[in-house]
Amino acid sequence: MMPLYQVVVLAIVQGLTEFLPISSTAHLYLTSWLLGWQAETLEFDIALHLGTLAAVLIYFFRDWLQILAQAFGIGFGRDEQLRQNRALLWLLVIGTIPVGIFGLLFSKQAETTWRNPFVMGTMLVVVGLLMAVADRRAGKRRDLATIGPKDAAVIGLSQALAIVPGTSRSGITITTALFRGIDRESAARFSFLLSTPAIAAAAAKAIHDLIKHGGIGPDMRGPFLLGVAVSAVTGCLVIGWFLRFLRRGTLQFFVWYRVAFGVLVLVLAFLKNG
């Protein structure tokens, strides 16, 4: 059984880094690697997925109700940007297709050969540099109301790249949205909405794998529930803070953090393997 302090630490790391553009996979892997902790169990992996899924569903609950209702011609909700883009559900479907295809094709590599500090460090730096360019070009030209099929397809293709550890789902999709001329807050909001089906699919796959292995053992039920709760609460707080921050702030801090962290990871990996 995982010690409870390890559950809390990793659940907080997951909640903090899933929605910030800095790669949750890299932080979870490297936290365990640097602290000498054993790899997370399948049960705990599911707990983290369910926690972050709960966070995005809870925070965007009203948005999802409005998006679903409007897709079927039902007037619901007061968000003006969503009201002006009644096809948003179908745009999110378009944006989700690429990550589903790439996930099926490359899931084994993403969970094995690509899950190493050299790949993670490289992707942290490369996507960080792309984010720097996109952030400098960012303005207040477009919001959610203006997103169309081409935007959804391009951002969806970029989300497929997030299966490579170190990329960051929010990092690459926000960066791509900025290149498409969407303002920072709307880019993050669309990124989080687009992440919901992908996170749900990952959680469903993990649950299916767990059922095949006999379900949750009695000794893991407590850590499982604790992991779900901590990552969900942390995730909700982070989403709210990040969206408020982007109304006036830029992504430059996260750019420098990614690059510095990526370089550190590469240096440590070379020293360990040198």
* 177, 21 contact by CB (below 8 A): no
What is the reported pLDDT for 271?
A: 86
What is the reported pLDDT for 167?
A: 95
Using pLDDT thresholds of 50, 70 and 90, give the confidence band for residue 17: very high
Q: For 45-49, 156-160, 193-197, 211-215, which range has the lowest pLDDT when averaged over its residues?
A: 211-215
Higher pLDDT pick, 270 / 138: 270
How does pLDDT run across 96-120, given as a tens digit for each residue? 999 999 988 998 888 889 988 999 9
**Residues 146-158: what's their mean pLDDT?**
97
Burial (Cβ within 10 Å: 0-12, 13-18, ≥19) of residue 190? buried
Q: Which residue bears the tokens 């003006």?
A: 80
Question: At residue 2, does pLDDT exceed 90?
Answer: no
**Residues 63-90: what's their mean pLDDT?**
93
How does pLDDT run across 164-186, given as a tens digit for each residue? 999 999 999 999 999 999 999 99
> To the nearest whole number, what is the mean pLDDT of the chain?
90
**Residues 33-62: what's their mean pLDDT?**
84
Compute the distance between CA of residue 152 and CA of residue 49 in angstroms, rounded to an integer.
Answer: 24
What is the reported pLDDT for 77?
A: 85
Tell me the torsion sign for CA atoms 154, 156, 162, 167: positive
Compute the distance between CA of residue 268 and CA of residue 117 in angstroms, rounded to an integer.
Answer: 8
Burial (Cβ within 10 Å: 0-12, 13-18, ≥19) of residue 215? exposed
What is the reported pLDDT for 203?
A: 83
